[in-house]
Amino acid sequence: MRLPAALILVCAIAFGQQIYRVGNGVTAPELVSKVDPQYSEEARLANINGTVRISLVVGEDGEARNVHALTSPGLGLDEAAVAAVSKWRFKPGLKDGTPVPVSVDVEVSFRLLTDPGAWSPSRVTFDSPEGTARPILTAAPYPPMYSAIGATGSVALSFDVASTGAATNLHIIKSSDPASESEVIRIVRGWQFQPAVKDGRPVSVRCTMEFAKGNL
């Protein structure tokens, strides 16, 4: 179907609209109202803390557009942050006194109260093949007590989320103290997932988790 010349012109202008960055005479947008993000159920179960870095364009009308996550702790916090920031409203940035679309980055922090010395994930990633729905964390029991080894610590490990949803083949990647490794392995071994799905069938997917305790 051939589009009318006027419509082609309108589309060309819309898609060719210049997006500005702050500086060189372009002022930064100012936040007018914000919506606080909601913790995803997975992140709440895991007691995950962290910051999602968001990129967006503030339009001439002050609305947030092209909102997407640049970095995230995982377990649905990226989606939660994007959903919240998409509802934020701004006083638009100006160039020569005229509102213009401005590209900016913002950070959305997620924090849960955790006991001192308790382990919690700081980052979770899944190595899901293309076309595969990632695993969903459904249960994350923590042992009732932790050892007093060190006030702070960090452990990174990888494991398979099997087609049954169990965490298997656990492997330590690095740690600040070898004595802490058994604690983290004991935690993750008890976790359960809704398995990854590809073509309607559950499949095994590799997961990497970074744990921290204290103020690391």
pLDDT score recorded for residue 132: 92
pLDDT above 70 as % of the chain: 88
Cβ burial of 54 (10 Å; 0-12, 13-18, 19+) is buried
Helix (H, G, I), strand (E, B) or coil at 188: helix
All domains of the chain in start order, with CATH:
19-110 (3.30.2420.10), 120-213 (3.30.2420.10)
152-202 per-position pLDDT tens digit: 889 999 999 999 999 999 999 999 888 889 889 999 999 999 999 999 999
- Residues 11-34 have a mean pLDDT of 79
Structure tokens at 167: 């965490």
